[in-house]
Amino acid sequence: MADSDTSDRRGMTPASSTHPAQRVGLLSHPAHLISFGFGCGFFPVAPGTIATLWAWVVFLMIDPVMTDFSWAVLIASGVVVGAVACTVTGRALGKADDGSMVWDEIVAFWLV
């Protein structure tokens, strides 16, 4: 393999060339699962938009059984848990607000 070749014999790229969020891993810590929007943050194009679409689907599924009070509890706990989760993930990534951390898009959609 030539030094200038960035892939190995199987066509795999080394870990250093993958997105930092993928190196941290979705399931390596519960905080990552939340902050990456249950995987939405790994979409290569428009992860925030994908997270908003996911939030819309979840909204449609749970809204029929939610009261105003239960929405308030869900959103308030989502903000608190999300802030902690994004702090943990940001430290793991070495970047406070990486574009792959999309939890804020999800909670913001539920708020509106």
Q: Report the pLDDT averaged over residues 90-102.
A: 88
Q: What is the mean pLDDT of the chain?
A: 83
Residue 87 lies in a domain: yes
Residue 95 lies in a domain: yes
Percent of the chain with pLDDT over 70: 79
How does pLDDT run across 47-56, given as a tens digit for each residue? 999 999 999 9
Whether 2 has a pLDDT exceeding 60, the answer reads: no
Task: Name the residue range of residue 96's domain.
Answer: 25-111
Residue 86 lies in a domain: yes
How many domains does one find in the chain? 1
Whether 84 has a pLDDT exceeding 50, the answer reads: yes
Give the model's pLDDT for residue 58.
95
Whether 1 has a pLDDT exceeding 60, the answer reads: no
Residue 70 lies in a domain: yes
Whether 14 has a pLDDT exceeding 80, the answer reads: no
Whether 109 has a pLDDT exceeding 70, the answer reads: yes
Q: Which two tokens stand for residue 51?
A: 């997270």
Task: Report the range out of 17-21, 94-98, 106-110 with the highest average pLDDT.
Answer: 106-110
Residues 48-56: contacts with CB under 8 Å, at least 24 apart = 48/99, 48/102, 48/105, 50/102, 51/102, 51/103, 51/105, 51/106, 52/105, 52/106, 52/109, 54/106, 55/105, 55/106, 55/107, 55/109, 55/110, 56/109
Residue 67 lies in a domain: yes
Residue 102 lies in a domain: yes
Q: Which two tokens stand for residue 21?
A: 């969020």
Residue 69 lies in a domain: yes
Q: Report the pLDDT averaged over residues 46-72.
A: 96
Residue 15 lies in a domain: no
Helix (H/G/I), strand (E/B), else coil: 101:
coil
